[in-house]
Amino acid sequence: MISKFTKLGIATLALLSTSFAADAADMSSRGPDYGDSPRTVVSYYNWTGFYAGISGGYGWGTSDWETSLISTKPKGGLIGGTAGYNWQSGAIVYGLEGDMSYSMIKDSTDCALGTCEVDNKWLATARGRIGYAFDRFLPYFTGGAAFGEVKGSVLGFGSFSETKVGWTVGGGLEYAFIDNWTAKLEYLYVDLGNTSCNAACSGGDPFDVTFKTSIVRGGVNYKF
């Protein structure tokens, strides 16, 4: 005769077997547990590549007429195109950029010879850029060469015009608002040096005219 203890032992083993089988089935359905789930990978914006776009802004500055002892304050708008290439290494972004704009920066004033006017017809730059990327935000410094036509005229005597080579320095902030589109706000200081007015345009007393301007402009670029 099977004792009460034997029956109790068989019942206990049956209960434990059922419990272990249920646990095994549950583990099989869940799959292996390797600890914490993988972390989500954050995708940062990549600034490397060729880009092109348009820009427009406003310039203001000074133009000193040496010998005549007068100073004009040329100002006005400008609009043009931009192209460049960026390389990114970690958070450092560096590159080359060029632009050319139609310029309406000019001014006139009364002078000893009548009315003296200075006019910047076009302006271009070729610059290096270096910045530090905060994902889609890119503050940067820039500097390089500046080119432009400076035209002066003395009412009743004549005019003079030269294509000048100077320098520029500045900085800005660019933001990638859609995958391939960026917008920027930029400041540049431009110095185109001296333009000479010969004896024919000055009534016999030649002199030099300086041209310096500050520019604030915005732009939109497309990165290919």
Q: What is the per-residue pLDDT across 99-152, written as a single tens digit (0 to 9) for each?
A: 999 999 999 888 776 788 899 999 999 999 999 999 999 999 999 999 999 988
Same domain, 7 and 81: no
Same domain, 113 and 204: yes
Q: Is residue 35 part of a domain?
A: no
pTM: 0.77
pLDDT of residue 23: 46
Same domain, 183 and 110: yes
| Separation of alpha carbons 82 and 57, rounded Å | 13
Q: Is residue 167 part of a domain?
A: yes
Same domain, 142 and 219: yes
Q: Give the mean pLDDT of the chain.
A: 82
Same domain, 141 and 72: yes
Give the domain CATH number at 195: 2.40.160.20
Same domain, 168 and 90: yes
| Nearest one of 112, 213, 201 to 162, comparing CA atoms | 201
| Separation of alpha carbons 159 and 138, rounded Å | 44
| Nearest one of 208, 222, 217, 108 to 168, comparing CA atoms | 217
Residue-number span of the structural domain to which 23 is assigned:
1-30
Q: What is the per-residue pLDDT across 130-143, written as a single tens digit (0 to 9) for each?
A: 999 999 999 999 99
Same domain, 21 and 64: no
55 or 71, greater pLDDT: 55
Same domain, 145 and 205: yes
Q: Which residue is associated with the tokens 């005549």?
A: 68
Q: What is the per-residue pLDDT across 178-197, written as a single tens digit (0 to 9) for each?
A: 889 999 999 999 999 988 77
Q: Is residue 171 part of a domain?
A: yes
Domain count across the chain: 2
